[in-house]
Amino acid sequence: MDIDFPFRIDFRGRTALSEGDDHIRDLIEQVLFTMPGERVNRPDFGSGLMQQVFAPNGAECAATTQFLAQGALQQWLGDLICVEEVSVKSVEDVLHVTVSYEALRSKEHHIARFELEV
């Protein structure tokens, strides 16, 4: 059992917990949406995805975001997941990020979807 993300209090008045694959999805979200330099003791943690908010939206932005996300996920979560594919699509002012991965412990394939308004 691990602390749930985002941090919250559960119905019992205790720190909410998450298990297994839910926790891995939480970790993917943290890697994708943390800016490098944001964490004091891990200044290189994160993907730089949030920097794309200020970049012009288009195919180049989507490709850059895809490489940033896949590299960060492999670096920070490579011992928990095998990243199969990261796809980023830009539709108007929204980046749609889809991460296809295999959880190494359970050997199950998962797809996590996130959206970032730019």
Q: Which domains does the chain have, with CATH numbers?
A: 2-117 (3.10.450.40)
pLDDT for residue 51: 72
Cis link prior to 6 (omega < 30° from 0)? Answer: yes
pLDDT for residue 53: 63
- More confidently predicted of 18 and 97: 97
Is residue 30's pLDDT more than 80? yes
pLDDT band, residue 100 (cuts 50/70/90) = very high
Residue-wise pLDDT tens digits, 66-80? 888 899 999 999 999
pTM equals 0.79
Mean pLDDT (the chain, rounded): 83
Is residue 13's pLDDT more than 80? yes
Give the integer Cα–Cα distance in Å for 4 and 10. Answer: 10
